Structure 1
Amino acid sequence: MVSGSRYTFDCDVLIVGGGIVGLSTAYALTRARPGTRVTVLEKELAPARHQTGRNSGVIHSGIYYRPGSLKARFAVAGASEMVKFCAEYGIPHEVTGKLIVATGRDELPRLHALVQRGRENGIPVRELGPAQISEYEPRVRGIAAIHVGTTGVCDYGAVAAQLAEASGAEIAYGAEVVTVDRRPWGVAVRTADGRIVRARVLVNCAGLHCDRVARLAGDDPGMRIVPFRGEYYDLARPSLVRGLVYPVPDPAFPFLGVHLTRGVDGGVHVGPNAVPALAREGYGWTTVRPGDVAGTLAWPGSWQIARQHWRYGAGELRRSVSKRAFTEAVRRMLPSVEESDLRPAPAGVRAQAVLRNGTLVDDFLIQESPRTVHVLNAPSPAATASLPIGREIATRALKHL
């Protein structure tokens, strides 16, 4: 127990969520102020069971993000820090570089805009013609491309596990938060198994459930998590791709499109698409939670998304239900791929924050209330940028102490 002037606390800072953002926050707290007592409550039986452990494993360069945004700042700094962290602790990683490939003339203005954005963010970018594309990726076809040298890959599950160990925090697994009682003196949290934890400050890093935790604390986050499932395949012939190959993204959506990623294990991941999930942890069409669906449908922003982006959504749904359609999307960049080359792989679910007016929140969203810090949107590149994000959250939490 930690004693205060009038109250007794189990810890100084209590973090809800044992994904990479929550664990990097714990890691940053104990380094910024040694002796700080940190407890992490994670409802699963191990860390990184959801977004952290179900992504492409890419160390993003920061080329996509608006200059000056939190995503741009954190990704550029986080990419180099993540490489150093992996090297320090012997975690599998590789700086591979990647291609962003335009396959149609209508994509060229967006590709050129990415070149400018990359340079504004201080990222080395090389522009390529068709012949130069083949030098990097002999089987990839496009009319133009850019090469981003600072992109890499790593094992984020291993990173999360190392952060948990190196933080020195007490981490309680199987500890789902069901009640939050915030008082002037601090915060008391009760878990599903009846445990009560008292802390001076609460940090909400609950990912797919962050809006719910905010409401448990008595705050109106002004957004809702709308879950989108990203479906992946593994490439049966990984020799078709040397490294990382991406399409030119549509800036109207916070998704990068179906891409090819050679991981640290030598296999090639293909995907993801982005389709509405029928549960916040809905990793397949058969996983349906009526309460989650009802919550999505009751949020006005969900209907605004449907009205504004139904054509885009229809294409994503088509690729979800039709392997042939998914293969066609891959063939735009990799013509030699066959439908039989794609083998189903585990899916992921993205916790997308949506405002009441239907805005898909694109940047990190962190809100503060008395004795509380809520991380309400931590989209890609959150894993890449987890070390600087953790420091930012830790700095805010320490102010509340």
Structure 2
Amino acid sequence: MYDYAVIGGGIVGLAAAIAVGKRYPTARIVVLEKEQTWASHQTGNNSGVIHSGIYYKPGSYKAQFCREGNRSMVEFCQQHNIAHEVCGKVIVATEQHELPILENLYQRGLANGLKVNQLSAQQVKEIEPHVQCLAGLRVPSTGIVDYKQVCQKYVEIFQAQAGELRLNTQVQKITSRSDYTVLETNNGTFETRFVINCAGLHSDRIARLTKANPEAKIVPFRGEYYELKPEKRYLVNSLIYPVPNPAFPFLGVHFTRMIDGTVHAGPNAVLSFKREGYHKTDFNLRDLTEVMTYSGFWKLAAKHASEGLQEMVRSYSKTAFVRSLQRLIPEVTEADVIPTHAGVRAQALRPDGQLVDDFLLVSSQNALHVCNAPSPAATSSLEIGKAIASKIPEQSLLASSDCCLVTTNS
């Protein structure tokens, strides 16, 4: 019998396991991961950015955890000699109508307790000489790291805590008893007093296996990237972002210098026909049917039809994709970029068509479910882990905390 079973071996699941182990050092804890390796999905395919927290609504989980997570992630990397760099980033306005949005973003950064500098076009050029813009912001606390390396260190720390790790172990059925839960997997049965669901792209399905209702469904959005050819990497010094469209829930195509020195450009945001669909041809009938029969998706699609069409065009047209890049760096050409990896964002969507814009923690009998943890979850992972541990008493009763915690027995 385990005291706690964590479902999902991405960066949030591993961070939660560490945090719970620290809070309850005598507890017996197991992490169950269906893949052959840790951090195989969202964590292992993200852009490697240590985010600052400038974009998020003041007072939200994202704003709080990202700001604190930026600090704790950098300290963690320093402590464990993990390659990282606090390089900062610029956010630039390239059209007149973006200037008021840039000002609002500046005020939000200040409200979130961040150091943010307003820049003229010439000051932007002093940082990123190849960028053409009208004005910009510099966020010096943004950094870069390889989150797979971070996860490997999390694994080592959890093992040192005497935690158990099980790869190739997919949870297929969950049966709740009065004081414990039975997890049936392809690799044996596990009994636990408490379940911590960090299953990412499948978190809503795991929640429903426990009879919990997260009141949202995961809709997978694939983000596709190009990479600058080595001889063109000089065009980007650090990270270059556009002003985000306030009507569209993604940050827009941007340039990111990775910790290995490569420079990635993207992503777009298109519906994936498979929850783990990293290629245009990936398809899963169950996954697609769930989306196509979900009223929330069609309400979202109707609201953002124009933006969604542009994203699809960028997915299939390199010319259109590069045109978006040229808004930031005009001298980039189609010959300068080559396709590289894609990632899939596990985005929770409500039945009314509203995207869940904060981390979503849902409680049920003897379980806690992390049902929305897209970016900046990697940056925030240590803080999310602490929050999970703080909400789980030794008894299998979860005390409700605030409006971001949904309690359900249905």
TM-score range, shorter chain: over 0.9
Matching of residues 175-190 of structure 1 within 5 Å: 175-190=169-184
* Secondary structure at the counterpart of residue 389 of structure 2: helix
Amino acid at match of 1:66: K
Shift of 1:253: 2.9
SS for the counterpart of 1:294 is: helix
- Which of 330, 334, 353 lines up with 2:348 in the alignment? 353
Question: Given the alignment, which residue of 50, 56, 80 partners 2:47?
Answer: 56
**Alignment match of 2:284 (pick from 278, 286, 289):** 289
Partner of 1:205: 198
- Give the corresponding residue for 1:371: 366
1:173 is the counterpart of 2:164: no
Find the counterpart in structure 1 of residue 35 from structure 2.
Answer: 44
Which stretch of the first structure deviates more once superposed, 71-80 or 217-226? 217-226
Superposition deviation, residue 400 in structure 1: 4.3
Aligned position for 1:3? none
Between stretches 33-42 and 59-68, larger displacement belongs to 33-42
> CA RMSD for the aligned pairs?
0.9
Quote the Cα distance in structure 2 between the aligned partners of 1:326 and 1:347.
14
* TM-fit CA distance, 1:399: 5.2
C-alpha deviation, 1:65, in angstroms = 0.5
Give yes or no for contact 1:203–1:397 (8 Å, CA) kept in 2: no
Instruction: Please tell me whether the aligned partners of residues 248 and 307 of structure 2 are also in contact (alpha carbons under 8 angstroms).
Output: no
Q: Is the 8 A contact 2:256 2:263 kept in 1?
A: yes
Q: Aligned match of 1:92 in 55, 78, 83?
A: 83
From 113, 129, 146, the counterpart of 1:155:
146
Tell me the secondary structure at the aligned position of residue 385 of structure 1.
Answer: helix
Does the CA-based 8 Å contact 2:212-2:363 persist in structure 1?
Answer: no
Match 1:138 to one of 129, 133, 146: 129
User: 382, 387, 399: which one pairs with 2:377?
Assistant: 382
Report the Cα distance in structure 2 between the residues aligned to 1:374 and 1:173, rounded to whole angstroms: 20
- Aligned residue for 1:384, secondary structure, equals helix
Aligned mate of 2:262, from 253, 263, 267: 267
For the structure 1 residues 70 and 314, does the alpha-carbon distance in structure 2 shift closer, same or farther, using more than 3 Å as the test? same
Q: Deviations over 1:212-260 (max 9, x none)?
A: 1011111222111000000011111111100000000122333111110
Letter in 2 for 1:226: V
Q: TM-score normalized by structure 2? A: 0.94
Alignment match, 1:4: none
Higher mean alpha-carbon deviation, 17-26 vs 160-169, is at 160-169
Q: Distance in 2 between matches of 1:279 and 1:317?
A: 16
Contact preservation (8 Å) 1:28, 1:167: no
**Aligned residue among 6, 14, 38 for 1:23:** 14
Letter of the 1:337 counterpart: V
Structure 2 residues not aligned, in runs of 5+: 397-410
Alignment partner, residue 207 of structure 2: 214
User: Partner of 2:393 in structure 1?
Assistant: 398
The alignment's TM-score, normalised by the length of structure 1, stands at 0.96
Question: Displacement of 1:32 after TM fit?
Answer: 1.5
SS at match of 2:151: helix
| Aligned residues between the structures | 391
Contact 1:28 1:394 in 2 (8 A): yes
1:83 aligned to 2:83? Answer: no
The superposition leaves residues 29-59 of structure 1 with CA deviations (integer Å, 9 ceiling, x where unpaired) of: 1112212211000000111000001011000
Q: Which runs of 4+ in 1 moved over 6 A?
A: none
Looking at structure 2, the residues matched to 121 and 218 of structure 1 have their Cα atoms a distance apart, in angstroms, of: 36
Counterpart pick for 1:235 among 228, 234, 245: 228
User: Equivalent of 1:116, from 107, 113, 123?
Assistant: 107
1-side partners of 2:124 and 2:20: how far apart? 44
CA distance in 2, matches of 1:55, 1:235: 17
1:157-215 CA distances to partner (integer Å, 9 max, x unpaired)? 1111111110232110000100001111111101123x000011001100000011011
Report Cα offsets for 1:66-106 as digits up to 9, x if no partner: 11000000000000100010111111100000000100011
Mapped partners of 2:156, 2:236: distance in 1: 35
What amino acid is aligned across from residue 358 of structure 1 in structure 2? G
Q: Name the SS of the counterpart of 1:334 in structure 2.
A: coil
- Is the alpha carbon distance of 1:208 and 1:400 closer, same or farther for their aligned partners in structure 2, counting shifts above 3 Å? farther
Q: Kindly indicate whether the alpha-carbon contact (under 8 Å) linking 2:228 and 2:336 is maintained by their aligned counterparts in 1.
A: yes
